[in-house]
Amino acid sequence: MGNTHASLDDILAEDMHHWYNKFMRESPSGLITLFELKSILGLQGMNEDANSYVDQVFFTFDMDG
Cα three-residue angle 18-39-54, rounded to 5 degrees = 85
Confidence category of residue 5, pLDDT binned at 50, 70, 90? low
Q: pTM score, two decimals? A: 0.58
What confidence score (pLDDT) does residue 4 get? 58
> Would the pLDDT of 44 be above 90?
no
What pLDDT does 56 receive? 93
Model pLDDT for residues 6-41, shown as the tens digit of each residue: 787 887 888 888 888 888 888 888 888 999 888 888
